[in-house]
Structure 1
Amino acid sequence: MSWSTAGIWAIIVTLGIGTFLMRFSFLGAMGGRRLPDWLLRHLRYTPVAVLPALVAPAVVWPPATGGDPDPARLAAAIVTVAVGWWRKSVLAAIGAGAVTLYTLLFLLG
């Protein structure tokens, strides 16, 4: 199927307006009002839920290996979680995971 230039721009503009309205419905409508405590408590867990959902597919089905699980990436993920839990530091966890990943990729070829 081939789209015309006008059709592509119509899709882009429509999606842009839709995205703006979805964000504005929450941010603009609330304005300067204080959010309820129960909602603030739930929103604190959003990054904790989203980050693993973004990272897990790259660990379990890495595109670099054609979707096959890779011991280096699995080990780096385990080290990252362990160091993050132990040190309670995001930077330490990321550093340990990166060092583990690149060291194992170098050693395993």
Structure 2
Amino acid sequence: MNYTHTELWLIILALGVGTFVIRFSFLGILGDRQLPPWLLRHLRYTAVAILPAMVTPLILWPQATGGQMDPVRIAAAAAALGVGLWTKNAIWAIVAGMGSLWGLGWLLG
């Protein structure tokens, strides 16, 4: 697709306004109000739900392999998941996944 400079800037402006409205709807309107306990309980799990949703496509269909499943990435994800469940520590899970990704990538080429 080819866009003119005017169309491109209008798209950028519309996306900027859209993201501002989405953020303002939560922070600006509800920012100084006390939220109900049931909503706060559900909001605690937002990061836990978003992170796997962002990482899973990178593991199952990585761009580096043309969208083909890669056993090294799956093994590294399994190592990170195992260490995370065992230690309950996100930093150690990341280190384990990163180390196994690099190590297995080096071993298996």
Q: Normalising by the residue count of structure 1, what TM-score does the alignment of the two structures yield?
A: 0.94
- Residues 45-96 of structure 1, C-alpha deviation per residue, up to 9 Å, x if partnerless? 1111111111111111111111111111110000100000000101100011
Q: Structure 1 segments of 4 or more deviating over 3 A?
A: none
Q: How does 1:22-101 map to 2 (within 5 A)?
A: 22-101=22-101
Gap regions ≥5 residues in structure 1: none
Q: Which amino acid is 2:56 matched to? A: A
Shift of 1:15: 1.5
Aligned counterparts of 1:2 and 1:95: Cα–Cα separation in 2: 42
Q: Normalising by the residue count of structure 2, what TM-score does the alignment of the two structures yield?
A: 0.94
Secondary structure in 1 aligned to 2:59?
helix
Task: Give the match for residue 19 of structure 2.
Answer: 19
Shift of 1:31: 2.6
Aligned counterparts of 1:20 and 1:68: Cα–Cα separation in 2: 37
Aligned counterparts of 2:2 and 2:100: Cα–Cα separation in 1: 46
Aligned counterparts of 2:2 and 2:94: Cα–Cα separation in 1: 43
Task: Give the match for residue 5 of structure 1.
Answer: 5
**Number of equivalent positions:** 109
Q: CA RMSD in A?
A: 1.0
